[in-house]
Each structure stands twice: as structure tokens, then as C-alpha cells.
Amino acid sequence: MSNQSGKSSGTAKTGRSRYTEVQSAPRFPIKLPMHVKSQAGESDTESENISANGVLFQHEVDMPIGSMVDFTISFPADVVGSAADVKVQCRGRVARTSEDGARRGVGVVIDEYRFERR
């Protein structure tokens, strides 16, 4: 019976460890233009903060936790030193939400990304 308990607590530790890993990545308060596509539709917004694991942005439409989101983040040409804006196409899932009046904060974990080539 103690082996089963050990396995259960090992599983719980693994789950907590993964959550801590996602939450502990340094966040940078960078406001960049974003285009968001989800089951709720498409809209433009801007990032509030970005980390190696995800992005936080404000959105007017409810986005359920766990739902898939496609979004494009635009890095201005003058900031990245290129001739044109650099766009990063991302796919992720909603990890958390919060409400502040009519707008909702949406935290998305990035599962895949690729740089758009022109």
C-alpha cells in the first residue's frame, strides 16, 4: 500500500513541477500587436506580457480554458532591425483567464510557433 501512495505523490509532484515550470518563466511587459483566431472568431489586440512559454493579452470575447488559439505576434521592423515587420505565427491553448470590466485577460501557453517568411 505504501508503494501506491509513493506513486500517487510522485505523479502529483510531476504535475506541480510542470505547472511551476510554465508559471516561473520570466515575463516581459512587452506590448506588441497581435491577431487572434479562436472558435469565438478573429480580432486584433496587443500583448500585455510575453514569456518563453506564453503570452498574456486582453480580449473582449470569452475564451474557455483549454480551448485552442491561433495568433500572430508582430515585431516592428525598427525594433528587430529588419526591412519589414517580423511576424511569428503561434498555436496554443488558453491556460488562464481573468476579468477586468468588459475585457478579459487571457493567458495562452504557446505549443507551436514559426516565423513567417516573406
pLDDT in tens, the chain (118 residues): 444 444 444 444 444 444 444 566 899 999 999 999 998 889 999 999 999 899 999 988 889 999 999 999 999 999 889 999 999 999 999 999 998 777 789 999 999 999 986 6
Within a domain: 57: yes
What was the pLDDT predicted at 21?
A: 47
Within a domain: 16: no
Within a domain: 20: no
| The residue to which cell 470575447 is assigned | 61
Number of structural domains (the chain) is: 1
Domain that holds residue 106: 27-115
Do 41 and 59 form a contact (C-beta atoms < 8 A)? no
Question: Which amino acid appears at position 108 of this protein?
Answer: V
- CATH number for the domain that contains residue 95: 2.40.10.220
What was the pLDDT predicted at 118?
A: 64
- List all residues 6 or more positions away from 58 whose beta carbon is below 8 Å from its beta carbon: 45, 46, 48, 100, 103, 104, 105, 106
The candidate with the shortest Cα–Cα distance to 116, out of 80, 81, 78, 88, is 88
